[in-house]
Amino acid sequence: MNIIPIAKFVQPHSDKHFSFQIIFPDNNLPKSYVFVGLMNQPDVKKARPFLQGHNGNWAMVEFWTDDESVARDAASKFAQHFKVEMGEGDFTRKELSLE
């Protein structure tokens, strides 16, 4: 059984930079202003974040920095705020309950 919410630090790929992505169960994703508020914290702001996506149960904050340690620190702030352990990489089909 999955433990959710699930959070991931995702490496750059395609046209995306480093990102923090999180899935919440049952469309209980916090409102976008919660993410924006976190993006304005000094330790997160230096990673140059923007809210790339936000819908019922998924959000993505992309970091426009080439410095992985700065992006990773910023992503960790989000994980700490939402009280979730942060994994790494893309979500698997199993984590998305597709298998």
Q: What is the pLDDT of residue 92?
A: 78
Per DSSP, 31 falls in state P
Q: What is the pLDDT of residue 3?
A: 52
Closest CA to 5 of 27, 30, 22, 26: 22
Q: Tell me the domain boundaries of the chain.
A: 6-84
Q: What is the pLDDT of residue 56?
A: 80
The rounded distance, in Å, linking the Cα atoms of 33 and 61 is 12
Strand, helix or coil for residue 50: strand
The reported pTM is: 0.88
Is the confidence at residue 1, as pLDDT, over 70?
no
DSSP string, 75-98: HHHHHHHTT--EEESSPPTTTTT-
Per-residue pLDDT tens digits for 43-83: 999 999 999 999 988 999 999 999 999 999 999 999 999 99
Q: Which residues are within 8 A (CB) of 28 and not within 5 positions of it... i.e. 6 or more apart?
A: 57
Q: What is the pLDDT of residue 93?
A: 76
